[in-house]
């Protein structure tokens, strides 16, 4: 399973989203800190989930980052998060 697929599966399981896009933006960060050959280091997540409603923006980001802790330990360097209202 690719890192993108792992992120997608984890977020789908944790947040049962109405909308979920996981975009690998690693090529845009070539040569930057944390980048490595083969990519899968820098991602953008667009998500809409009732489970994130009622949380502050910081709370939403903390919940998503906590869910993805294993992926960060495995080498994900950066994650841009866009929470879209349901």
Say how many C-beta atoms besides its own lie within 10 A of residue 68's C-beta.
Answer: 21
**The pLDDT value given to residue 28:** 65
Q: Is the pLDDT of residue 75 over 90?
A: no
Say how many C-beta atoms besides its own lie within 10 A of residue 44's C-beta.
Answer: 15
**The pLDDT value given to residue 33:** 61
- Token pair for residue 60? 């939403």
Contact 22, 45 (CB under 8 A): yes
**The pLDDT value given to residue 66:** 98
- Token pair for residue 51? 């489970």
CA distance 71 to 57: 21
pLDDT in tens, 10-62: 999 999 999 999 999 887 655 666 555 556 788 999 999 999 999 999 999 99
Say how many C-beta atoms besides its own lie within 10 A of residue 69's C-beta.
Answer: 11
CATH superfamily, domain at 3-83: BolA-like (3.30.300.90)
Q: Can you give the residue ranges of every domain in the chain? A: 3-83
**The pLDDT value given to residue 77:** 86
User: For the stretch 1-23, what's the b/e string if a residue is b when 16 or more beta carbons lie within 10 angstroms of its beta carbon?
Assistant: eebbebbbebbeeebebeebebe
**The pLDDT value given to residue 11:** 98
């Amino acid at each position: 399973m690719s890192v993108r697929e792992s992120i997608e599966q984890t977020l789908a399981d944790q947040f049962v989203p109405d909308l979920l896009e996981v975009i690998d933006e690693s090529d845009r960060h070539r040569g930057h800190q944390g980048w490595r050959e083969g990519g899968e280091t820098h991602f953008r997540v667009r998500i809409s989930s009732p489970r994130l409603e009622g949380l502050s923006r910081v709370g939403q980001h903390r919940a998503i980052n906590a869910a993805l802790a294993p992926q960060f330990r495995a080498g994900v360097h950066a994650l841009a998060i866009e929470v879209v209202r349901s």
